[in-house]
Structure 1
Amino acid sequence: MAKNFVQDGETITMTAPAAVASGAGVLVGAVFGVALGDAASGAVVEVKRRGVWDLAKATGQAWVADTTKLYWDNTAKNVTSTSAGNVLIGVARQAQASGDTVGRVLLTGQLS
């Protein structure tokens, strides 16, 4: 392996910007991921940047599997299909009805 390799970057340690529960979305600067444990504001938390996750979903939006681009609404702390003012995090992995409060999301690991 190359001597300059540091880590794969799939799971990283970050400082929680607010209290966060295990399994919740976390946005720190331009990096989004899912917390792998509970953390108080200012504490370190392990965050997974890729994979398929069931996350809090904005209601009033239907998603089409593998077609609907998804964004993190850092104010509402949920995933939305609304791009304006939000951070692109991935794509819907399954169809979701507009009334669903949880949606299946493929995190693609891109940065805002």
Structure 2
Amino acid sequence: MSAAYVVGQLSTLVTPDGVVVAGRDRLADLAGLVDTGLDPAGVVEAISHGSLDHASDFAVVRVSGDAARILVRGALSVRIGSISADGRDATRWTELTLPLADGDVVEVAPVGSTLAGPLLPLTGG
């Protein structure tokens, strides 16, 4: 998976396994996920501090082979090709798995926003 980003206001973690995006107040939580393999249950636990009542909006995209497992909560949107998902109407989060093909682009952004600005390369961190 290749990754690029547009400068914004969200905390983002990119690993060889995928990407996690959450509010700026969750930066320390994301840093603790670097070597976890982005197991979705572990990501949710770290971001929520054990209680979804305290969880901010987040998006997790875990790539495994030719599929992407997506968890998205709140007003964030994940788009792969022509398919997008957000967590606005979900009690906890929206979860789905989508096929990935060579050249597919995974976009994570606040609902209703457009990616504006130059794409900058990102290899991890």
**TM-score where L is the length of structure 1:** 0.27
Structure 1 or 2: more helix by fraction? 2
Higher-Rg member (1/2): 1
